[in-house]
Amino acid sequence: MGQSAFLQNVWYVAGFAKDLRPGERIARQFLNQPVVLWRSEGGMAYALEDRCIHRAMPLSSGPVVGEAIRCPYHGLEFAGNGRCSRIPAQDKIPDTAKLRAYPLVERQGLLWIWMGETDKADLGLVPDYPVHDDPRYAWRSSYFHVAGNWQLLVDNLMDLSHLPYIHANTIGGNPDLHFRTKTQSQKLPHGVRVSRHMPDSDPPPTYIAAAGFTGKVDRWQEIEFEPVMIRIHTGACDAGTGAYEGARDHGFSMLGFHGITPETESTTHYFWSMATNILTDGIPDVVFEQTAATFQEDMEVLELQQQRLSAFPDRPLIDIASDVGGRHTRQFIAKCFKKEEIA
């Protein structure tokens, strides 16, 4: 049997909680499976197989009614646990009238879904992202549909040495500085951590727009992967003011959340948020739009990569020195796949 294209027994981001209001539903495909996310009128969020057991009509095309979702074809209604609760054409509801219900957890502004074996859905394994609940930070979120494999997005985020080339006008900077900077990669029990320090460097345009730097800065990039999401902490302080010794409260921090959820083998859901520590009145449109433009540049790169990889799947690729974080992450993901095969 060949290896699956996706990790199954992990928590994936299904969306941002604020985007699913009471009485609403969203149709999405995760790991090649059609899913309807919906929130009851009472406020509970659920995830069900998006296929009525009667005539395979997508439930996402029907309304939410109270604490159930209704198929628009013949009016069958389903509760959050997947069981049919009403069949207008008959009184008796057979035991077989049940859809697959996916475990769904709402936490820290995020909806997490478990696509694997239900009995292995451990709430203790839901990734933690306390930044969204921290009053010291203002944050905004968005979503991209990526025309590329999910591991390409992981590679992209775990190696920020591409910044001066792809993102020259936003968060980039001097290419020589980036490639002189040593990448430190650490293997962790739950994932991989990468860090890069760029002392006495020129601040990139986005940092100037957000924090008003006028001179040299000490920059940092700290990235942490666990299946299947990435936390990125980047920022800067005025040069020589103790950023690398932990004194960062006086500087500019940008904390990024990156939820990476496969849709198919060649498409990916990308849920991201950015938070800052100094913009107490909220993130200005110009800063958020620059960040979104930065990620849009990445999306264009991933789409072009996917086109070539799909056309020439057997052509070899090489690693370079700056790929150490991405290489360690690929190795960690391979171990996760191996564990699922054994289990």
| Span 110-144, pLDDT tens digits | 999 999 999 999 999 999 999 999 988 889 999 99
Backbone angles phi, psi at 132, to 5 degrees: -65, -20
Q: Please indicate, yes or no, whether residues 209 and 305 belong to a single structural domain of this protein.
A: yes
Choose between 161 and 245: higher pLDDT. 245
The pLDDT of residue 1: 34
Q: Is there a domain that residue 162 lies in?
A: yes
Grade residue 2 by pLDDT with cuts at 50, 70 and 90: very low
Q: Is 271 helix (H, G, I), strand (E, B) or coil?
A: strand
Do residues 120 and 168 both lie within one domain? no
Same domain, 109 and 171: no
Quickly count helices (H) and strands (E) in the chain. 6, 17
For residue 115, being part of any structural domain is answered with yes
Note whether 197 and 320 are same-domain residues: yes
Cα–Cα distance between 225 and 223 in angstroms, integer? 7
CATH number reported for the structural domain that contains residue 140 in this entry: 3.90.380.10
Rounded-to-integer distance, Cα 341 and Cα 313, Å:
23
CB 274 within 8 A of CB 139: yes
Distance CA 91, CA 83 (A): 15
Residue at which a domain ends, from 100, 125, 150: 125
Q: Which of 104, 125, 146 is the last residue of a domain?
A: 125
Contact of 122 with 105, CB cutoff 8 Å:
no
Q: Establish if 6 belongs to a structural domain.
A: no
Query: Is the residue at 179 inside a domain?
Result: yes
Global pTM?
Answer: 0.91
Cβ within 8 Å of residue 208, ≥6 positions away: none
Q: Which domain holds residue 76?
A: 11-125
* 309-329 pLDDT per residue, tens: 999 999 999 988 888 899 999
Same-domain pairing of 20 and 137: no
Last-in-domain residue among 96, 125, 154: 125
Answer whether residue 206 shows pLDDT above 60: yes
Give the count of domains, the chain. Answer: 2
- Tell me the pLDDT tens digit for each residue of 69-91: 999 999 999 999 999 999 999 99
Tell me how far apart the terminal alpha carbons of the chain are, to the nearest angstrom.
14
Out of 74-88, 179-193, 225-239, give the one with best mean pLDDT. 74-88
Length, in residues, of the chain: 343
As a whole number, mean pLDDT of residues 28-34 equals 98
252, two tokens: 């500019």
Question: Given a cut of 80, is residue 273 above it in pLDDT?
Answer: yes
For residues 138 and 112, state if they share a domain: no
- Residues forming beta bridges with residue 185, ordered by sequence position: 194
CATH number at residue 98: 2.102.10.10
